[in-house]
Amino acid sequence: GLIVVGSHVGQTSRQLAVLRARPGTAAIELDVPAVLRGEAAVVAAAARPVAAALRDSDVLLYTSRAVATGPDAAGSLAIARTVSAALAGLVRDVLAARPPAWVLAKGGITSHDIAVHGLGIRRARVAGQLFPGLISVFHPADAAPAAAGLPYVVFAGNVGGEGTLAQVVDILNGDEEAGA
C-alpha cells in the first residue's frame, strides 16, 4: 500500500516515527524546500523510487518535517497547497506506473488533494470507519481507472495515538490482530 503524509502536527510526526521504526515499510521523503523552489524534477525523482518500492513493500511517502510558513496565514496556506499539489501529482504518477493495493492519506488538505487530484475521485462509496468516529475508508466508484475500487483511507492529522498509523497499516494489510 501507499501511505502519503503531508500533515505536520506533532501527533502525526510521532505516528510517522513509529511507522518508520518498523521493518517492512520503505520510507521516501519529499523535499519540501525543493518543491517550494519550483524544482519540478523533484516530484518525478521521488515517483520512481516510490513505484519501484511498491513491488516489494508498503511505501511511506512523507514531506520533510521542517514546517515552511509564509509571511501571513494566506502565504502559509499557499505553501500548504503547493506541497499538497506536489504530493497529488506524485500519487498520480505512481498510480500510472504501479497502482498500490490501497492508499492512505494523512492530513486534511493532503487527504482532499490526494482524493481529487491524485486518484481522480469524483464519487466514492463509504466503506466505514477503522476506529469509531475516526479514519474513514472509501472505495472510489468514479475515479481514475487505476484508482476505481482501490481502498482509500482518510486519516486526519491530529487523530489517534502514537501507534494508530501503524495499526491502520496492519489492518489494511489484513493483520487486524497486530493492529489491535
Which residue, among 69, 143, 100, 70, has the nearest Cα to 4 in the 3D structure?
100
Instruction: Please answer whether residues 118 and 95 qualify as being in contact, where contact means their C-beta atoms are separated by less than 8 angstroms.
Output: yes
Instruction: Please answer whether residues 90 and 57 qualify as being in contact, where contact means their C-beta atoms are separated by less than 8 angstroms.
Output: no
Q: Per-residue pLDDT tens, the chain, 180 aa: give them.
A: 999 999 888 788 999 999 999 998 999 999 999 999 988 789 888 999 999 999 999 999 999 988 888 999 999 999 988 999 999 999 999 999 989 999 999 988 899 999 999 999 999 999 999 887 778 999 999 999 999 989 999 998 888 899 999 999 999 999 866 544
pLDDT at residue 176, rounded to an integer:
63
pLDDT at residue 180, rounded to an integer:
47
pLDDT at residue 110, rounded to an integer:
92
Q: Where are the beta strands (DSSP E) in the chain?
A: 2-5, 25-30, 58-63, 103-106, 123-131, 134-142, 152-155
